[in-house]
Amino acid sequence: MVPNARQKEREQGHPIAVFDYDGTCINGQSGSLIATWLMLHGYLSPRSVVGLAWWGICYKLHLPHRQERARELIFGDLGNRPPEEVDRILVEFHDKVLVPRYRKEAINEIERRKQEGCITLLVSATFEVIAREAAKILGVDGFAATKMERDALGYYTGRVEGDVTEGKSKVDTAMTLATTCAKDHPWYLAYAYGDHHSDEELLAAAEHPFVVCPGPTLKRMAHRNGWPIIDWR
């Protein structure tokens, strides 16, 4: 760690580096990929497929939509299965579809930040089961993602528990996770990495924000704010 970094740590606390998942650590969006995979394997009803397609259009065009809706459609169909089977299906999807999409640059960047002394965190809107598997591959110190509600018997209800980890919620979740991983010692958000315009608040909160392979909206925000753009394609 360079002297200036050591001084910063003494003054402000432990440095934290937060990484988004979809489009940042992996090439693609796990939400659309899992919807397609589940459909092809017969896990989704035709009604859910139509609902997810419409939700995707609204998301792409920045039209009004509920973030919870896509998750509810998926777990509405999966929720009648034992929770162990649902988790197994999600892990199978991760291993078969997402593992080949991990970006070596992201893994190397996480390792580099750890070598600098950062606590590295993965904070994502993806499902918690997928984020848990991702954390193992990426080697982060902690992770947080969207939780799906369970009933008293452990079965998924089809509803999101709390908020989808996106936008302002992603910032709040990152702050809470950082406090936990830093063991209540002082810390500061040194680095943040994101690819989508919904990551704007997280990027703005970091001392050093990095925009990864952005879409047009986030690219304009990056130019406006002077945020570095990096290409991990």
What pLDDT, on the 0 to 100 scale, is given for residue 1?
Answer: 42
Question: Order of strands, edge to edge, in the sheet holding 119-127?
Answer: 156-161, 142-150, 119-127, 14-19, 187-194, 208-212, 229-230
b/e 88-126 (16+ beta carbons within 10 angstroms → b): ebbeebbeebbeeeebeebeebbeebeebebbbbbbbbb
Q: What angle do CA 170, 175, 177 make, to 5 degrees?
A: 90
What pLDDT, on the 0 to 100 scale, is given for residue 4?
Answer: 57
Residue 184: CA count within 13 A, CB half-sphere: 0
What pLDDT, on the 0 to 100 scale, is given for residue 58?
Answer: 82
What pLDDT, on the 0 to 100 scale, is given for residue 154?
Answer: 93
Sign of the CA dihedral running 138, 232, 182, 118:
positive
What pLDDT, on the 0 to 100 scale, is given for residue 8?
Answer: 54
What pLDDT, on the 0 to 100 scale, is given for residue 7?
Answer: 56
**For the chain, which residues score pLDDT lower than 50?**
1-3, 6, 10
What pLDDT, on the 0 to 100 scale, is given for residue 57?
Answer: 84
The answer to whether 31 and 122 are in contact (CB under 8 A) is no
The tokens describing 5, both together, are: 């970094």
Q: What is the pLDDT of residues 109-140, one digit of tens each?
A: 999 999 999 999 999 999 999 999 999 999 99
What pLDDT, on the 0 to 100 scale, is given for residue 56?
Answer: 83
What pLDDT, on the 0 to 100 scale, is given for residue 65?
Answer: 74
Strand 142-150 to 156-161 pairing: antiparallel
CA 135 vs CA 45, 54, 56, 102, 227: distances in Å: 30, 31, 26, 12, 26
Q: What is the dihedral of CA 161, 217, 190, 119, to 10 degrees?
A: 40
Q: What is d(CA 164, CA 74) in angstroms, rounded to the nearest whole number? A: 14
**The whole model's pTM is what?**
0.91
The answer to whether 114 and 19 are in contact (CB under 8 A) is no
Domains assigned to the chain: 3-230 (3.40.50.1000)
Q: What is the pLDDT of residues 41-57, one digit of tens each?
A: 999 999 999 999 888 88
